[in-house]
Amino acid sequence: MKRTRIGFSLSSPPEISRKNNFDHIRLLLALGVFFYHIGELTQLPNFQFPGSSTVAAVAVHSFFIVSGFLIFMSYERSRSLGRYFAKRFRRIAPGYIAVIVLSFLFLSLISTLPLTEYFTSPESFKFLLANLSTLNFLHPTLPGVFEDHPYTAVDGALWTIKVEVGFYLAVPLIAWFYRWIDTGKLLGIIFLLSTLFYFAMGYLYQQEHNQIYSILQRQLPAQMVFFSSGALLFYYFDFFKRHSLAFITIALIAYAVQNFIGSDLLYPVYAASLSIIVIYLALIFPYLGHIAKYGDLSYGVYIWHFPVIQTFISLHLFDTHPMAVLIGLIITVLFLAWLSWHLVEKPFLGRQSHYVRETEVAD
């Protein structure tokens, strides 16, 4: 196989047009998770929609598919392993650290504890340590904050970040095995093993009813089925593009069938068909325009929406005129996402980053 930069691939990495719909898709996915959490956290009937949990799950899985495609592309185009990790760190860490630290600081104002006790509490330091290391599940709460809410976590949406970091770490290891195993075969094996892990955790949960198995079913090994699907479509993109009509037709039929049947045994069919649909919409579907020219808001929306919703609930803003407050909530989250991009995320990326270049060009 031909060596390309620091990775090995079937051929030279495919040329991906900058006029793509990835920005549209990521923003739509982030908003889907945002609106799901509005209903889930407020528990208000006005914000409860049938199938919202399914939409949120599809959104998260689609994020992982997009990551599989784009992270392998980033790896193949990196000149060194250090450069690859630096790009990944700059993209995800500044915004993530900012939301953890600023949540910790500003939520002290609504904590039931006095400020001195809040800032010296061991619980506060446990929160910072667990969340800054992306191990949010170890200590998702702050002392005296959101304690009477249906969900007490400060930012429950951040559980996917540790999975994303796991993807970043896995890519060089996977690429290292390209020396001995064909790219497609290796990614296919990963897809299969990930599916088996998902089924195994589901079976153990049914047998023992231990919540740990349900939790593990959502973690990195099980999510590799989506990541590897996105990676496969990257490496075989030229073939996918040539036969895109056949692929999308089969994928839409398969997705509809598995959704109608509803059997968990069709999980790999769901993963494969969703992957085809997402990448088709991103790269084959007609270009929808430069939505990120004023800022790439998707990551900001994703990391900021949960604590903002929780804060609105804590302040009892939804008690009267919930629909009007909903508009204010949306505006607040979008504004914070805009600030996050311009003040935190973009400055750390550097002008050579394609994220920066693409938000600086006009239509």
Does the structure show a pLDDT above 80 at 359?
Answer: no
Query: What pLDDT, on the 0 to 100 scale, is given for residue 53?
Result: 86
Q: Given pLDDT bands bounded at 50, 70 and 90, which one contains residue 356? A: low
In Å, how far are 105, 107, 154, 235, 310 from 111, measured between CA atoms? 11, 6, 12, 50, 12
Please name every residue paired with 133 in a beta bridge, in sequence order, or none if there are none: none
Per-residue b/e over 58-88, b at no fewer than 16 CB within 10 Å? Answer: bbbbbbbbbbbbbbbbbbbbbeeeeebbebb
Query: What pLDDT, on the 0 to 100 scale, is given for residue 361?
Result: 42
Q: Which of 176, 174, 267 is nearest to 226 (CA)?
A: 267
Query: What pLDDT, on the 0 to 100 scale, is given for residue 362?
Result: 37
Contact 124, 143 (CB under 8 A): yes
Lookup: tokens for 301: 């929306």
Q: Given pLDDT bands bounded at 50, 70 and 90, which one contains residue 121? A: very high
For residues 6-14, average pLDDT: 54
Does the structure show a pLDDT above 80 at 363?
Answer: no
Query: What pLDDT, on the 0 to 100 scale, is given for residue 18?
Result: 82
- Separation between Cα atoms, residue 279 and residue 291, nearest integer Å: 18
In Å, how far are 14, 22, 193, 227, 274 from 233, measured between CA atoms? 10, 14, 18, 10, 12
- At position 296, the amino acid (one-letter code) is D
Query: What pLDDT, on the 0 to 100 scale, is given for residue 352?
Result: 56
CB atoms within 10 A of CB 112: 11
Please, what is the average pLDDT of the chain?
A: 90
pTM equals 0.90
* Residue for token pair 């809040």: 118
List the chain domain ranges.
20-360
Does the structure show a pLDDT above 70 at 13?
Answer: no
Does the structure show a pLDDT above 50 at 55?
Answer: yes
Instruction: Report the percentage of the chain scoring pLDDT > 70.
Output: 93
For residues 193-214, average pLDDT: 90
Query: What pLDDT, on the 0 to 100 scale, is given for residue 8?
Result: 47
Per-residue b/e over 205-239, b at no fewer than 16 CB within 10 Å? Answer: beeeeeeebeebbebbbbbbbbbbbbbbbbbbbee
Q: What confidence tens digit (pLDDT) does each residue in 314-343 have?
A: 999 999 899 999 999 999 999 999 999 999
